[in-house]
Amino acid sequence: MKSRVRALGHPVHPMLVMFPVALFITGLVFDAIQVFSDNGTYSQVGFWCITVGIIGAVLAALAGVLDWSAIPSNTRAKSIGMRHGLLNTVVLILFVISWALRVNAAEHRASGVLVVVELIAVAVAGVSAWLGGELVDRLGIGVDDDAHPDAPSSLRSSSMRPDLRSPRVNR
């Protein structure tokens, strides 16, 4: 099933998702270092990683919701997509809580409790990432309908070179 939101022939949602995930994990690492070292520079880096991660997560969520809306109703994929989105919403909320509690704090310092909250959020993101992989790799969501090992480039129209199209490989 082809993704609704595409850029240069590829789904946008997976392109955007990697940024908030990486930024949230990086923010957690810097916050943990700050808690153990008491060096405020680490908390500031963690805070700004989380800030940018929140922005990226909102953009990824918008693309994800549009793609999810195209999945046929009453399918396993629709159900897994809903769980994937809800778990990502939990992750976003937990990081927004961490961000909001630090926005006015000196050096945007994180407490040990906030580091635990962020660690839980990252663990939930891992489960959600597995569900996202299930959607793509097992259920074919976001995969071009004409995908196969010899498919032409997504930058070229398949109708331009029909001689390169081979029978679709069963997944």
For the record, the structure tokens of 66 come out as 């549009």
- The stretches of the chain forming alpha helices (DSSP H) are 12-37, 40-69, 76-102, 112-133
Q: Report residue 170's pLDDT band, with 50, 70 and 90 as the boundaries.
A: low
> Using one digit for the tens of pLDDT, what is the confidence trace for 2-37?
677 788 878 888 889 999 999 999 999 999 999 999
Q: Which residue has the higher pLDDT, 92 or 157?
A: 92
On the 0-12 / 13-18 / 19+ scale of CB atoms within 10 A, 53 is buried
**Neighbour tally for 85: CB within 10 Å:** 18
> Using one digit for the tens of pLDDT, what is the confidence trace for 109-161?
999 999 999 999 999 999 999 999 999 989 988 887 778 888 888 787 544 44
Write down the domain spans for the chain.
Answer: 6-146
Return d(Cα 71, Cα 126) in angstroms, integer: 23
Q: Is the pLDDT of residue 85 over 60?
A: yes
Nearest to 27 by CA among 106, 122, 105: 122
Return d(Cα 114, Cα 102) in angstroms, integer: 9
**Neighbour tally for 70: CB within 10 Å:** 15
